[in-house]
Amino acid sequence: MPLANIHTGQTPPPRNQAAAPKQGFTEIVEQSQTALENTMLKQTLTEYLEQFRILKEQQNTFLRQAEGRYQQDKKMLEMMLNAMLLSNKSLTDSIERECAKLSGSLLLSATKSVTTGLDRNIAAFDKAIKTIESKETAAVKRMGNHLKNFDEYARKLFVFDSIKHYLFWAGCISNVVVLILLLMR
């Protein structure tokens, strides 16, 4: 039989009745901890999904710009090629006309000048091709770097920041301390 309290005169409730409020409080603490963890996880996931969406939009914009630059360079190369072919054709036509008029040593002199002109055209064409190839290589390299950065950021997407990690463990430790305090009473 439990003894009455000297100051209040009341007898304490039996042990099984006193355990029920502690158990209810423990359940409330566990539920609040779970709700806090879920809220933090939802907030973190929402932030990372927004960052992922922004990065995806940036990547798509970059790819569209790169494709546009590639198409412009391709059109410019085609125009230069057509101009050079037209120039070569007109040069060849004029050479053929001049060769028909010339004889002997003049024919040899004209052939040399034609060869020089064609060599210059070929050199200009090679230079234009190298320029386009270097631009294309640079664009591919930039695109590769952008994709590499995007992949690295995507891998970091679900890694907790140190403050959130600290708050998570601090919440767990505080729940354990509260549980110990409740059990000691």
pLDDT tens, N- to C-terminus, the chain (185 residues):
455 555 565 665 555 555 566 788 888 888 889 988 889 989 988 998 899 899 889 888 988 888 888 899 888 888 888 888 888 888 888 878 876 776 666 667 767 888 888 888 888 888 888 888 898 898 888 888 888 887 777 666 555 566 777 788 889 999 999 999 999 87
Q: Is 183 helix (H, G, I), strand (E, B) or coil?
A: helix
Name the DSSP letter for residue 99: H
Closest Cα partner for 36 from 180, 182, 185, 174? 174
pLDDT at residue 173, as a whole number: 93
CA distance 108 to 91: 16
* 114 and 91 Cβ atoms separated by less than 8 Å: yes
pLDDT at residue 118, as a whole number: 84
The domain spans of the chain are: 53-168
CA distance 185 to 181: 7
Geometric angle at alpha carbon 49, from 43 and 52, rounded to 5°:
145
CA distance 10 to 144: 79
pLDDT at residue 95, as a whole number: 78
pLDDT at residue 161, as a whole number: 60
Geometric angle at alpha carbon 136, from 130 and 140, rounded to 5°:
145
